């Protein structure tokens, strides 16, 4: 039992350190009025420098990656102001929820947190262009590793919560970006060519994502 507690404490410390690092960067180096990618590990490993390089070169706008592995919707809400809104982003691209599903967090709790993220952003940075992404599909059939990585997630659960997220996006008048059909194979699973473990995208997958995000940026 002691080992479990120690492991959990260490993991929380890692996330806290990343949160503090982003705060330091925002306060000392990041510029206001740029684009922020905000989410969990799928965002954290996004090859954003390379895939947004041309966009940044043409517009002069930086793209800051503020993803933290393991984040759930409540943690994203908790660090919203200190990791994203304190630099008044021109664009805020949000992807969150897959870890909520993986941890059996009730969907109504997840949806409320995401609603609060949008509300706080509107109140704090009313001119920020918000892009809310649908949770990406998963593929537990790829390998044993994929089955373990995907865990309790299922495309049925993901589809159900995405329907509610779409409604939230419409009600809050933000961009809704559902990439399910672009990232899925013929059976509705995350396509093997776009991921490496059934959950996290590879560079080819992120290329698809970037190409769909860029037209929605201001």
Q: What's the whole-model pTM score?
A: 0.94
**Residue in 135, 118, 134, 128 with CA at minimum distance from that of residue 217:** 128
Q: Which tens digit of pLDDT belongs to each residue from 146-205?
A: 899 999 999 999 999 999 999 999 999 999 999 999 999 999 999 999 999 999 999 999
Contact 104, 158 (CB under 8 A): no
C-alpha span between 127 and 18 (Å, rounded): 27
**Please, how many CA atoms are within 13 Å of residue 134, restricted to the half-sphere of its CB?**
25
Q: H or E segment at 46?
A: none
Task: Provide the residue ranges of all domains of the chain, joining segments of one domain with +.
Answer: 2-216
Q: What is the mean pLDDT of the chain?
A: 94
Mean pLDDT of 109-127: 98
The whole-number pLDDT of residue 12 equals 79
**Structure tokens that stand for 159 in this block:** 């589809």
Q: What is the largest CA-CA distance in the chain?
A: 54
Q: Is the pLDDT of residue 5 over 50?
A: no
Q: Which tens digit of pLDDT belongs to each residue from 79-98?
A: 999 999 999 999 999 999 99
Query: At a CB cut-off of 8 Å and minimum separation 6, what does 94 contact?
Result: 38, 39, 76, 114, 117, 130, 131, 132, 133
C-alpha span between 111 and 105 (Å, rounded): 10
Q: Is the pLDDT of residue 108 over 90?
A: yes
- CATH number assigned to the domain with residue range 2-216, chosen from the 4 options 3.40.630.30, 3.90.1150.10, 3.30.70.20, 3.40.50.1110: 3.40.50.1110
Mean pLDDT of 51-76: 97
Q: Is the pLDDT of residue 132 over 50?
A: yes
Question: How many secondary structure helices (H) and strands (E) does the chain include?
Answer: 12, 5
For residue 190, what is the DSSP state? Answer: B
């Amino acid at each position: 039992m002691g080992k479990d507690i120690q492991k959990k404490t260490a993991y929380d410390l890692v996330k806290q350190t990343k949160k503090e690092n982003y705060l330091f960067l925002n306060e000392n180096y990041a510029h206001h009025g740029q684009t922020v990618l905000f989410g969990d590990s799928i965002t954290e490993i996004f090859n954003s420098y390379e895939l947004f390089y041309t966009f940044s070169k043409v517009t002069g706008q930086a793209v800051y990656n503020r993803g933290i592995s393991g984040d759930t919707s409540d943690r994203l809400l908790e660090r919203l102001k200190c990791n994203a809104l304190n630099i008044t982003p021109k664009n805020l691209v949000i992807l969150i929820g897959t870890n909520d599903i993986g941890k059996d967090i009730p969907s109504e709790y997840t949806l409320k947190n995401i609603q609060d993220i949008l509300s706080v952003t509107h109140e704090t940075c009313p001119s920020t262009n918000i892009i809310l992404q649908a949770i990406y599909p998963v593929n537990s059939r790829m390998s044993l590793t994929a089955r373990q990585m995907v865990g309790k997630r299922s495309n049925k659960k993901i589809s159900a919560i995405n329907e509610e997220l779409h409604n939230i996006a419409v009600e809050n008048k933000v961009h809704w970006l559902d990439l399910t059909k672009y990232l899925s194979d013929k059976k509705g699973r995350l396509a093997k060519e776009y991921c490496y473990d059934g959950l996290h995208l590879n560079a080819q997958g992120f290329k698809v994502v970037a190409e769909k995000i860029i037209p929605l940026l201001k």
